[in-house]
Amino acid sequence: MIRLILTIVLGLATATAGADSMRCGGKVISIGMSMSEVLQYCGEPASKEIEEHDVRSGNRVTGTTQLHRWTYSDYSRVRVLEFDQDKLLSIR
């Protein structure tokens, strides 16, 4: 009975952690990695998009930033990675 409970708890923890990481081959891709690290481990994505966003301080625009959206797909899943400048912010 204890083994069953542990198995269920570990399975739930693994499912929850999946939103913050993904695998490319034997490597784990996780939030905070750079674009070059993701390219090194996963190769070129199936598609890339870039959006320019204003950076604001109150009502004043102080600059711009780029949001990069890369899409990877495999046999059963599509993953969208979002980078702000060079830092991986999310995996969906």
- What would the pLDDT profile of 36-85 be if each residue is shown by its tens digit? 999 999 999 999 999 999 999 999 999 999 999 999 998 889 999 999 98
Alpha-carbon distance 52 to 58, whole Å?
Answer: 19
Element (H, E) at 68: strand 60-73
Topology of domain 20-91 in CATH is Beta-lactamase Inhibitory Protein; Chain:B, domain 1 (3.30.1450)
What residues are paired with 28 via a beta bridge?
23
Nearest by Cα to 90 from 53, 27, 54, 38: 38
| 3-class DSSP state of 21 | strand
Give me 52's structure tokens: 């320019």
pTM above threshold 0.75: no
- What would the pLDDT profile of 13-23 be if each residue is shown by its tens digit? 444 444 589 99
Nearest by Cα to 83 from 65, 57, 63, 56: 65
